[in-house]
Structures are given as C-alpha cells and as structure tokens.
Amino acid sequence: MYLIGDLQGCDAPFQRLLESVNFSPSRDTLYMLGDLVNRGPDSLAVLRRLSALGDAAQCLLGNHDLHLLGVWQGVRTVSKGDTLAQLLAAPDCADLLHWLRHRPLAIASHGWLMVHAGVLPQWTTAQTLALARELEQQLRADDFKYFLTQLFGNQPTQWHDGLQGAERWRVIVNALTRLRFCTNAGEMEFSIKGGQADAPPGYSRWFEVPGRATLDQPIAFGHWSTLNAGQTLHRNTLALDTGCVWGGCLTAARLGPRAGEFELMQVPCEQQQRPG
C-alpha cells in the first residue's frame, strides 16, 4: 500500500516512481492524495493511467481536480498557469471526467485517514468521512453542474452544525481541499500559502491546533508543498506534497504493518515551474 502526494499532471515521474517500487496492480494499492491534474505537462496521461488501474488506484479529489470539473462544465474560467487544454480537447475527456467526479474526498483505510488538504479541529474521523460523503453524493448526481455552481468561494470560513445547502458544501470542500491555516475555533484562512512563519496572528497550521479531535488518528495529506513534507509524522500527520510540479520530488510512503509506520520513496521531477 502506497500513499502518493500531489501529481498535478506530472505523468513521467509518476511512471518512474511506479517502476522504482515495482508496482503491481494485482498486488499493490495506490492511495493518491488529490490534485491529480493541472500545472504539470500531462494531466491527460495521468487520468488515463489512473483510471485504467481500477481499484488498484484509490484517488482523492483535490482543489485542482474540482477546478477542472468546474471548467469542464463552464462554471469556472481557465486560470493563469492552467495546463488543462489538452485534456479538455481529448476525445475521451467526458469519460475521464465522469470517472474523476466519482472519486472520494476522504478515505479511511489501514488505520489512516486520507484527505487532500486538512481536517477542521472539531471534526472527528467519523464526521469527516460523513461530511465528505455528502459532497460525493452531490458530485455523482445527474444535476452535478448545479452543485458545482454553488461550490466555489471563501465564505463562510467556519463550520457549525446548522449550516445548510451551499454554505455547508463550501465549508466542507474548503476544509478538505484548501485548508492550511485556521484558528483554534476552526476559522479558515485561504490567502497564505507559506509556512508557520507566515501565519496571520491567531492562526496555526491546522494540524497544530490544540485539542484537535483527530489527534489520535494518523492522517495523510498533500496540498502544501512549502511544508517540510514527507519526513516524519508530526502531530500524527504525514504531509506528502513535495512539490514535484515545482521542480521538487514526487514522494510515496509505503505503509508498514502497524499504524504510523512507513518508508519513503522519492523520484525527482523534471519540471522547473514557479508556484502559483
């Protein structure tokens, strides 16, 4: 079982990583931590490769994946730096994005909780999974385009149990796919992408909030390439976005027999882009 950080369209290093670990779809399972596409050179090849692996590739949705779905449905505009044109023009685009919108937003397996970005401090593991399922049902529905029109935005910034409709959806999706910093009460901040030194007053990295309800739960996540990712468990979390698309490495963690045990594997990425 392998946990793998953000691909963002970097198919060539992904292939090298699979070769380096002697990956076999009949024996092994990949858990991809979201942001499968965008900014890298070959999102089309990434989605073709992953969708062909069937159950051997369990893929989370990240913020770039949701952005792609929004662009496809005409509810999002192409952003500067997007590299989605080849995928959107491909003859199998509709089939690939049908597959993509049926991916989960959170996975629990082998003692780990997996999300793309983070978990709000008051959410338990069970609640995180239940809230993710709410959004997954909407994404998989026939009228998913309407859901996408309501999904994007920064407000509200804080969860409470009484939230309904679009406000509820946005808090859930922003926590699971965009969260970096929040207050002790779980109020999220989205403008800062750096490390703890860049945190606004009163905000902490989400996994360092005192009393976090998931403190006893090993959590693997991606999304945050400016962290010192992929080194060791910190507050029972493992960060695996090592900035492949920005010229770093692509990282996999091969899990051991006990919760919290892992061995890291890395391959270099040839991309030399700037974060954005």
| pLDDT tens readout for residues 237-260 | 999 999 999 889 999 999 888 766
* Range 251-260 burial, b when 16+ CB lie within 10 A, else e: bbbebeeeee
Residue of 240, 243, 244, 211 whose CA lies nearest to 226:
243
Count of domains forming the chain: 1
- pLDDT value at residue 226: 84
Q: What is the rounded distance in angstroms from the CA atom of residue 220 to the CA atom of residue 203?
A: 21
- Structural domain of 220: 2-268
Q: How far apart are CA 181 and CA 260, in angstroms?
A: 24
Residue 184 lies in a domain: yes
* Whether the Cβ atoms of residue 225 and residue 242 lie closer than 8 Å to each other: yes
- Mean pLDDT along residues 17-25: 95
Q: Are strands 204-205 and 237-239 parallel, antiparallel or unpaired?
A: unpaired
> Tokens at residue 219, please?
């959590």
* Helix (H/G/I), strand (E/B), else coil: 167: helix
Q: How far is CA 23 from its chain centroid? A: 22
Query: What are 237's strand-pairing partners?
Result: 219, 234
In a domain, 274, yes or no: no
Question: What is the per-residue pLDDT for 43?
Answer: 98
Q: Is residue 250 part of a domain?
A: yes
Q: Containing H/E element for 30?
A: strand 30-32
* pLDDT at residue number 232: 61
> Would you place residue 276 in the very low, low, confident or very high pLDDT band (cuts 50, 70, 90)?
very low
Is residue 276 assigned to a domain? no
Confidence category of residue 228, pLDDT binned at 50, 70, 90 = low
Q: What is the pLDDT of residues 185-224, one digit of tens each?
A: 999 999 887 766 778 899 999 999 999 999 999 999 999 9
The predicted structure's pLDDT at residue 196: 62
Dihedral over Cα of 21, 27, 30, 36: its sign: positive
57 phi, psi to nearest 5 deg: -125, 105
**What CA–CA distances, in Å, run from 245 to 100, 205, 211?**
20, 23, 34
What is the C-alpha to C-alpha distance for residues 53 and 114, in angstroms, rounded to an integer?
19
- CA 16 vs. chain centroid, Å, equals 21
Contact 143, 169 (CB under 8 A): no
Amino acid at 42: D
Q: What is the CATH number of the domain that holds 191?
A: 3.60.21.10
> Is residue 83 in some structural domain?
yes
Q: Is residue 236 part of a domain?
A: yes
- Does residue 78 sit within a domain? yes
* Residue 69 β-bridge partners: none
Could you give the percent of the chain with pLDDT greater than 70?
Answer: 95
pLDDT at 50 > cutoff 80: yes
Q: What is the pLDDT of residues 74-122, one digit of tens each?
A: 999 999 999 999 999 999 999 999 999 999 999 999 999 999 999 999 9
State both tokens at 79: 């952003």
In terms of Cβ atoms closer than 10 Å to its own Cβ (0-12, 13-18, 19+), residue 87 is buried
The pLDDT-based confidence of 270 (bands split at 50, 70, 90) is confident
- The predicted pLDDT at position 229 comes to 62
pLDDT, position 200: 86
Residue 267 exposure: Cα atoms within 13 Å on the Cβ side: 19
Other CB atoms within 10 A of residue 103 CB: 22
Residue 229 included in any domain: yes
Q: Is the pLDDT of residue 275 over 60?
A: no
State residue 274's pLDDT score.
Answer: 43
